[in-house]
Every structure is written in C-alpha cells, then in structure tokens.
Amino acid sequence: MSSSNPLLIRSAGPADVPAIYAMIRELAEYEKLLHIVEATEDSIHRALFGEKPAAEALIALEMDVPVGFALYFTNFSTFVGKPGLYLEDLYVKPKFRGKGYGKALLVRLANIAVERDYGRMEWSVLDWNTPSIEFYKSLGAVPMDEWTVFRLNREAIASVASSG
C-alpha cells in the first residue's frame, strides 16, 4: 500500500469484535440478507475467541480505523488429503473500496494457506454479485459451476437428528 493510504492487516483480537460485528451487519445489508442475521457480538466473540474457536479473522485498518475484515475457518478435502481454508466473509467498507484492500486481505489469506500447507481455498459468492465474481476471477479463482451448495438450517438439522 502507498504511504498515502497505509493499510495494516492483522489477526483480529477480542477488542475487534464490535467492529467485525458491525461490518458483518453491513455485509448482510449489502447482500439483502440482514433479516436473517442471528449473530450477536457475543456469539462472534465466542466463535473467534471462546474455549474452542470455530473460526479466525483478519482485520484491515487504515490509520487505525477498521475498514474491512476476512473471517475464515479450516475445512478438509478428502480428495486432496489436506485441510483447506474456507473464506466465510470478505468485506471492505464501500468508501474504502478500490484501494486494493480486498486483494490485500486475500493475499494475506493465501499466505496463511501456504504457511499451513493447505490444499486449497474456497468461498461462495452470490450469483448476482458481478463485481465480486469478476474480482475473484481476475485473481485466478475458478467458479465451481458443476457443484450445488446445500444447507440445513437449525430446524432442518433438528429434524434430521430426530429422524434416526
């Protein structure tokens, strides 16, 4: 980053949870999904820094102001035989876009994946989010068009669990 736009990307700490939570809500609003957000600051804190952390996060700061984040966790590929990095969310606040901060977050994530000897990185993007799709393709990411994502929500999980 140039000296006119100094960017610091670091591992998030417990004090970053309010900023990360606020950006999660901003992302959900952008994706027209705010109505389904159940997360709270407390649940994000537990997920990132509780007894058994479920995820990790990077925070991007410009002049000590939080401007973006990446939240990720480990998955596993039986075909590759190695863990991988699953990027749950990547977000840069609108007024800070176009400065290379999203790419800087992805570069840091790729470095983490290399350091940990992960076999791949994966993430999902909404099919209408053309700017993000084009950005990811420009980095060499390949859409997995032949795969369909399936999800069980909390009620469906409970139903399956009790069906046995």
SS3 category, 125: coil
Q: What is the pLDDT of residue 49?
A: 98
Q: What is the pLDDT of residue 164?
A: 81
**2-6, 146-150, 155-159, range with the lowest pLDDT:** 2-6
Q: What is the pLDDT of residue 88?
A: 97
pTM over 0.85: yes
Average pLDDT estimate for 32-57: 97
Residue-wise pLDDT for 66-95, tens only, equals 999 999 999 999 999 999 999 999 999 999
Residue-wise pLDDT for 135-144, tens only, equals 999 999 999 9
Q: What is the pLDDT of residue 4?
A: 61
How far, CA to CA in Å, does 32 sit from each of 22, 35, 92, 95, 125?
A: 15, 8, 16, 19, 13
SS3 category, 21: helix
SS3 category, 66: strand
Query: What does the domain layout of the chain look like in residue ranges?
Result: 7-124
SS3 category, 19: helix
Which CATH topology does 7-124 take?
Answer: Aminopeptidase (3.40.630)
SS3 category, 83: strand
SS3 category, 115: helix
Q: What is the pLDDT of residue 6?
A: 86
Two structure tokens written together for 35: 């109505």
Q: What is the pLDDT of residue 36?
A: 94
Q: What residues are labeled active site?
A: 136
